Structure 1
Amino acid sequence: MADALAYAMRFDERDKARRTGIEYASQLAADQFVRQLTANGLVFMRRRSAPAGR
């Protein structure tokens, strides 16, 4: 999820790099955003629960 967010911050809708020079900062911001969301209970993907008795 963080990689997708960082990509969205670095590239425009035509997949051209934005001329901001903040490639590293976008990855840090995306990681922090995902950390905050998961800390607040957001679930991005659920694993299949194991069958009862296993």
Structure 2
Amino acid sequence: MSEEQLRGRQAPGQPAVDDEERLAALDDLDEIEPGPEGFAAAVQEITSAHAELLARLAQ
């Protein structure tokens, strides 16, 4: 891969949310209960957290 292609893959600047904050957000997620209902609840929780992060980034 050329240097120009690699340069295009690098993210500009610092991320809006640091890694420690991302890890802390994952720690806040509840444990997944076995079964379809637990999985659906976990997916809902993750998508809600993702939507909140997107809203923060949009500010």
TM-score by length of 2: 0.40
- Larger RCO, structure (CA 8 Å, separation 6 or more): 1
